[in-house]
């Protein structure tokens, strides 16, 4: 009876909560939207029909800008904080992370919901809109030098955690990162049935790993997307304008055998695709989505059936970077 009441109040389905007493931390079936946090996940999947595709291929995009904080990383923020609370890992009430911005927004939402403080280390070059949103949600921002890259921000976050006992969420290494995308994979298969090819960009590599771990065993071809200047294809580390993707060191949780193809996309191609998506499909997406669309079109001749590409966020948080010019 008590569980039923709890379930009713939280908007979650009674059967799901009854599975075990910690079910609310893992598998949740949403009955309806009642609280802001319920607006994380269950994003739309739309078909793109204006691009030239080989016969027998359908192209679908998962629109992650429809999460509460406007990106795919809300899923990660929610999962990492809930798992850390469940394990009792948050000792001082403060959480710290290194992020280009979307992770910080996702974490800020989760910290706000649980009454925790958040401190984020952000390399200076990243979008000011994302930084303003993190601050609006109560996060404390610390800039690190653009030249030191994400590795510099990671080192700064770790030394702060070591010095103060704050909980370092460590998105680049925790297995809670890929696990945040279990439900994303389920949402996609629920929507299209068979996924013949999945295309996802890699920043931390969590989205790709989570999706590939679940979809590859069902026969899905997996394509990981990076900008020129990222190291997955054996290229040298360097700067790029495409934001949110790009890898400086190989992520430990990313197993080579999960990857069928690496697509390395130039900034020019990514930004051209962003503009095409606006005028052809009416979709306003960030540059990592543009890179992923380009990769999906490059790879489309290798499959028949359903191709699903992940669009992690929207263009409005990059307007100050003249994304449409
Ligand atoms: N696109 C954007 C806009 C992002 O912010 C991120 C997260 N850094 C990604 C793609 C890549 O996601 P992941 O960290 O899961 O590889």
Does the pLDDT value for residue 10 go beyond 50? no
The average confidence (pLDDT) of the chain is 91
What b/e readout covers 131-170, taking b as 16+ CB neighbours within 10 angstroms? bebbeebebebeebeeeebbebbbebbeebbeeeebbbbb
Contact 211, 185 (CB under 8 A): yes
CA distances 36 to 63, 80, 113, 228, Å, are 18, 18, 9, 37
The total of other beta-carbon atoms located within 10 Å of residue 322's CB is 8
Ligand 1: residue of 63, 69, 102, 208 to mutate (most ligand atoms within 8 A of CB) is 102
> pLDDT tens digits for 284-307?
999 999 999 999 999 999 999 999
Q: Is 244 in the pocket of ligand 1 (CB under 6 A)?
A: yes
> pLDDT tens digits for 18-53?
333 444 433 444 457 778 999 999 999 999 999 999
Q: Is 304 a catalytic residue?
A: no
Give 52 Cα–ligand 1 centroid separation in angstroms. 26
Residue closest via CA to ligand 1's atom 4 equals: 244
Q: Is 245 in the pocket of ligand 1 (CB under 6 A)?
A: yes
Closest atom of ligand 1 relative to the 203 alpha carbon = 16
Closest atom of ligand 1 relative to the 204 alpha carbon = 14
State mean pLDDT over 116-145: 95
Residue 9 has what pLDDT? 44
Question: Taking the model in full, what pTM does it have?
Answer: 0.90
Q: Is 59 in the pocket of ligand 1 (CB under 6 A)?
A: no
């Amino acid at each position: 009876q008590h569980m039923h009441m709890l379930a009713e109040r939280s908007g979650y389905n009674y059967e799901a909560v009854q599975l075990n007493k910690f079910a609310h931390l893992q598998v949740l079936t949403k009955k309806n939207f009642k609280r802001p946090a319920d607006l994380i996940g269950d994003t739309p999947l739309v078909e793109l029909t204006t691009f030239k595709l080989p016969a027998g291929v359908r192209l679908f995009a998962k629109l992650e800008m429809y999460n509460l904080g406007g990106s795919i990383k809300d899923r990660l923020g929610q999962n990492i904080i809930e798992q850390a609370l469940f394990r009792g890992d948050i000792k001082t009430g403060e959480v710290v992370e290194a992020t280009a911005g979307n992770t910080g927004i996702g974490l800020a939402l989760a910290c706000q919901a649980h009454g925790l403080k958040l401190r984020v280390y952000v390399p200076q070059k990243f979008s000011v809109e994302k930084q303003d949103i993190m601050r609006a949600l109560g996060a404390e921002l610390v800039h690190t030098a653009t030249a030191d890259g994400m590795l510099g921000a990671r080192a700064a976050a770790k030394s702060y955690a070591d010095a103060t006992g704050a909980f370092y969420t460590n998105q680049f290494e925790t297995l809670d990162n890929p696990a945040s995308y279990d439900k994303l994979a389920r949402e996609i298969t629920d929507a299209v049935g068979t996924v013949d090819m999945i295309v996802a960009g890699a920043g931390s590599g969590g989205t790709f790993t989570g999706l590939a771990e679940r979809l590859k065993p069902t026969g899905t071809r997996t394509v990981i997307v990076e900008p020129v200047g990222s190291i997955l294809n054996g290229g040298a580390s360097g700067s790029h304008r495409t934001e949110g993707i790009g890898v400086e060191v190989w992520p430990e949780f990313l197993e080579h055998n999960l990857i069928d193809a690496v697509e390395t996309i130039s900034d020019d191609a990514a930004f051209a695709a962003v503009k095409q998506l606006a005028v052809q499909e009416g979709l306003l997406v960030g540059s990592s989505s543009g890179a992923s669309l380009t990769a999906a079109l490059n790879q489309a001749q290798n499959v028949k059936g359903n191709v699903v590409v992940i669009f992690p966020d929207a263009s409005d948080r990059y307007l100050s970077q003249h994304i449409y010019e």
